[in-house]
Structure 1
């Protein structure tokens, strides 16, 4: 008799009901079936399902196949395992660096009404999707770099024929179109990028790590524009990028002004 996953699932469920540990269950299966026994991760997954009261997930699987965009939390009561961003708990050193950066930046700006804020350009990268949804795993996408200031949008530059930002891309394509100081990332802080900025008399403004709430693009531009595009379907990543650009250009000037005022307020309360 050839055993399949259904048979093994029944055996795992039997061992679960016997209150065997996952290790004990695996040991029994290995002693009987050898190399054909399920992997430890399979046993762990099924134990998790059984603990949540889901002794048979075939119905769930059928629902997902019928509509992959179904809200599993609302309709099925299961956990969401794929998310866009997981908060990072800052270490004491990172917290101190964040506070120190905020204080130094505020000292340079002097006040909310200081004209110095107009000399600051903020740049960051993000994926633009053909269909904006919670789970990005199976959607066509293209990365863009967007640069903004208190005066408004500066530039949005897509990456062509590559999927990640590199120092070469920064110095040959991105920065020649505008000269904003990039954020904290390996491609941003690469020696080649720093050298280019120095030659162009552009000061590099360090950004504290794991602090997206202090980046205008992270707390304003990207969520604001992507919410406007949510629910729209585009035929290609290029079409999605064009729609993103148009939405950014349509943003009223007073919104950008308010964005950077909010940025200063965030630093004051950090």
Structure 2
């Protein structure tokens, strides 16, 4: 009830919903309402609702979903997040149906599987992610044209054969038909590394790593020289005033002294990228998955075939998709802040409010 009053107060003061989530999390910690429930009540109060109490439900009132039982269930969940509904029902002495009612409708909880993340972040790493997200958002808010001047890039391996995802290999079938089967497969050893740089308007520069070469500081320095030439030819407006910003990750070749001195010598401004953050790197959350998705499940017998197919997919991406990518980048900074620096992909976070 207290949290609903807080939400109502924030709506009256025209505070954005994502900020309300942050405030409630800071104030109530583990006892905070789920984000889904916060957005639900925020919308109700926004539509003119004044009452903070639950709506009356039709039918016979439940004798099991009492405040005492709700508190018992809540305490058990807080103590063991993996406890089952049957175990809770047996310990509290209520039916499984009543227990499910408390879980779903009273506490607003559901059981979900743990998601894989690149790394279990420590406090300092989460703080760094938040700092970069806040700093980047502030700069974009101060300069609406800033993201249009950013050129971002990275490297990735493209394989001669990459395994299809579950969704790609799924098929329609009749109830009586046997389930489709497929053999377990692995990625091929034939592969080539693709380096791509792009901005708001599309691809600026791409190249493939020569066979036998590694991405070291000397190679990446040459890439930067070729990138500058590509900017001069393809983005003369950015080149003329040297108004472009470079964004890349923290790979050793990217952050080497040799490369940093070259960028400083040419007055190239770089945008910060927090470590262990592919969810906030446009190449990782947009470009590379988009290229590779259609290549999965296809076999290429030679390096040249891999290169041709990769370039075909790269050139097929329309300009509007790149524009959406940069808009999504801003939303991801907001999600990172709402999530207190933790990974947020797969979480139900609405930043459009």
| Aligned counterpart, 1:116 | 146
Q: CA RMSD in A?
A: 1.9
Structure 1: gaps spanning 5 or more residues: 1-84
Q: Distance in 2 between matches of 1:226 and 1:266?
A: 22
Counterparts in 2 of 1:238 and 1:201: CA distance versus 1, 3 Å: farther
Corresponding residue SS for 1:99: helix
| Aligned counterpart, 1:9 | none
Note if contact 2:196-2:205 (Cα within 8 Å) is conserved in structure 1. yes
Note if contact 1:142-1:238 (Cα within 8 Å) is conserved in structure 2. no
The residue correspondences of 1:10-89 to structure 2 (distance < 5 A) are 87-89=118-120
| Aligned counterpart, 2:112 | none
Q: Distance in 2 between matches of 1:239 and 1:163?
A: 19
Note if contact 1:128-1:237 (Cα within 8 Å) is conserved in structure 2. no
Which of 224, 228, 237 is the aligned partner of 1:175?
224
Corresponding residue SS for 2:195: strand
| Aligned counterpart, 1:101 | 132
Q: Distance in 1 between matches of 2:129 and 2:308?
A: 35
1:211 and 2:277 correspond: yes
Q: Distance in 2 between matches of 1:136 and 1:217?
A: 24
Give the TM-score normalised by the residue count of structure 2: 0.49
Q: Distance in 1 between matches of 2:160 and 2:290?
A: 17
- 1:146 positional shift: 1.2
Report which structure shows greater RCO (CA 8 Å, sep ≥6): 2
Counterparts in 2 of 1:268 and 1:183: CA distance versus 1, 3 Å: same
| 1:26-55 C-alpha deviation (Å, 9 max, x unpaired) | xxxxxxxxxxxxxxxxxxxxxxxxxxxxxx
1:149 and 2:215 correspond: no
1:191 and 2:222 correspond: no
The residue correspondences of 1:219-258 to structure 2 (distance < 5 A) are 219-258=285-324
Q: Distance in 1 between matches of 2:251 and 2:313?
A: 26
Which of 112, 122, 126 is the aligned partner of 2:156?
126
Q: Distance in 1 between matches of 2:163 and 2:220?
A: 29
Q: Distance in 2 between matches of 1:137 and 1:250?
A: 24
Q: Distance in 2 between matches of 1:131 and 1:257?
A: 30
Q: Distance in 2 between matches of 1:138 and 1:181?
A: 31
- 1:191 positional shift: 0.3
- 1:230 positional shift: 1.7
- 1:163 positional shift: 5.1
- 1:161 positional shift: 2.9
Q: Distance in 1 between matches of 2:224 and 2:158?
A: 20
